[in-house]
Chain A
């Protein structure tokens, strides 16, 4: 196992073959490519350039074009619950710097007008992207996509494994003895024991949680999981949502969409979308959807 730091998070690369140094290096290079392309806090990143010229057609790398495409697919599949344009809402609430520096001073949770549909344009031949006038944050999707691309880089060399980036990630197959990976679900209320343990053969996993990224804005509690429909923190009654999906990127999208459905309707939402989903309510209660049940190997009693 190799542990490094990227996207302000610890990155664990676990390869299932013994002679995998080159494959791990390839995975790491893929992850770093995503990071350097999508870092909104780096004014020289491709994403920052695209955001600066959000009304124009901007020539971008195939990597960034693909990531914007993934974000658009997530936006459409969740009917707008996942929307990378929440960047302006995050900034309005004070998350305009790395989270460790957020203080909420001068921030506002005031309502804002409803957004129009997001319709970015792509020119595949010239690798041009036109955002449509609003800046975006690829955040969690970039982490999931980085894990996916890292696994693809290893698979191209005949090596499989698991890549975890700050608690979200993906696996390209079972572990070295052919058994599923065990994914613990952190207690969002701070308990030392996981609330559940999931088995993962292959695919992505992601958790949307309010545990760490929350702060005060004018006496109100804010967190980073913004409901694009209101521009305010969403997911009432929920502390965390964990999703297993086909890839790391889609797990990120689905976890966010499910979280924003809130405690009252998450079971219905997950059932309607056939999501493998597990959630923790404000009171610590744990629920899960039917597609998640086969993956549950332990639940805290």
Chain B
């Protein structure tokens, strides 16, 4: 049974003309994303930064008219693409990455039992004083934005028959 059969493309970003490209450096990529935004605040977290700076390292609010929700969704997708570019190893951060478990990965705020087991800081010093590691791979911390980014699919039980 065919429920719908529109175009074969998922997403709306194929026509992007001003967004970041793989040829751009990370700083340029971020600038390109910001330049396309009007009337909304954007925050993002650079990859591999120390927890003391893991709060958004860049933030921009540009006055403008009310945000078009569809435009906002497009821009979120652009930001996602920019993040992917940054994660590809072109992080603009000059700080050293932290070892997993040192607090680089943000914990759920409540910290109740059972949360973030693998990343519970058990032996490392507090994040604010954690020494940078030069021997462990970069571990990108997830963002701490209050709302989730757009998703292509959702994995779980609800889709099962």
Which among B51-59, B60-68, B80-88 touches the partner chain? B80-88
Complexed CA–CA distance, A21 and B156 (Å): 28
Q: Which of B1-38 contact A (CB under 8 A)?
A: 1-11, 13-14, 16, 19, 22
In whole angstroms, what is the CA distance A209 to B156 when docked? 7
Docked-complex contact B152 and A181, CB < 8 angstroms: yes
Distance in Å: Cβ of B12 to nearest Cβ of chain A: 10
A1-B8, A184-B155 as given contacts; A297 in contact with B139, CB under 8 Å: no
Determine if A175 is an interface residue (Cβ-Cβ < 8 Å): yes
Task: Judge whether A183 and B148 touch: CB under 8 Å.
Answer: no
Please report the C-alpha to C-alpha distance between residue A8 and residue B7 in the assembled complex, in whole angstroms: 24
CA–CA, A24 to B159, complex, Å? 20
Whole-angstrom CA separation of A271 from B117 in the bound complex: 11
Is the Cβ of B155 less than 8 Å from the Cβ of A185?
yes
- Annotate A1-15 by CB proximity to B: 1 below 8 A, 0 otherwise: 111110111101011
- B115 CB-CB contact with A under 8 Å: yes
| In contact, A4 and B118 (Cβ under 8 angstroms) | no
Q: Which of B80, B113, B141 contacts A285 (CB 8 A)?
A: B113
A288 touches B83 (CB 8 A): no
The stretch among A55-63, A81-89, A192-200 that forms the contact with chain B is A192-200
Check if A168 is an interface residue, CB within 8 A of chain B: yes
Known interface pairs A290-B100, A293-B119; A211-B158 also in contact (CB < 8 Å): yes
CB contacts under 8 Å to B, within A57-92, are none
Say yes or no: is A182 at the interface (Cβ < 8 Å to chain B). yes
Q: Knowing A3-B4, A182-B80, A299-B142 touch, does A164 contact B11 (C-beta < 8 A)?
A: no
Interface size on A (CB < 8 Å)? 82
- Is A177 a contact partner of B161 (Cβ separation < 8 A)? no
Q: Which residue of A9, A186, A267 is within 8 Å of B155 (Cβ)?
A: A186
| Complex contact A288–B84 (CB within 8 A) | no
Is the C-beta of A17 less than 8 angstroms from some C-beta in chain B? yes
Contact of B160 among A181, A193, A213, A267 (CB under 8 A): A213
Q: In the complex, which residues of chain A have a beta carbon less than 8 angstroms from the beta carbon of B147?
A: 193
A211/B156 in contact, CB under 8 A: yes
In the complex, how many angstroms separate the beta carbon of B127 from the nearest chain A beta carbon? 15
Instruction: Provide the bound-state CA to CA distance between A1 and B6, in Å.
Output: 6
Q: Which of B66-123 contact A (CB under 8 A)?
A: 77, 80-81, 83-84, 87, 100, 105-106, 108-109, 112-119
Enumerate the 4 nearest inter-chain pairs by beta-carbon distance, A residue then B residue, closest first: A186-B156, A8-B161, A285-B114, A167-B159
What are 25 inter-chain pairs, A to B, with CB distance below 8 A?
A1-B7, A1-B8, A9-B161, A14-B8, A14-B152, A167-B155, A167-B157, A168-B155, A176-B13, A177-B11, A177-B16, A177-B81, A179-B80, A182-B151, A183-B153, A186-B157, A194-B148, A194-B154, A197-B148, A213-B160, A266-B117, A285-B116, A286-B115, A287-B118, A298-B149
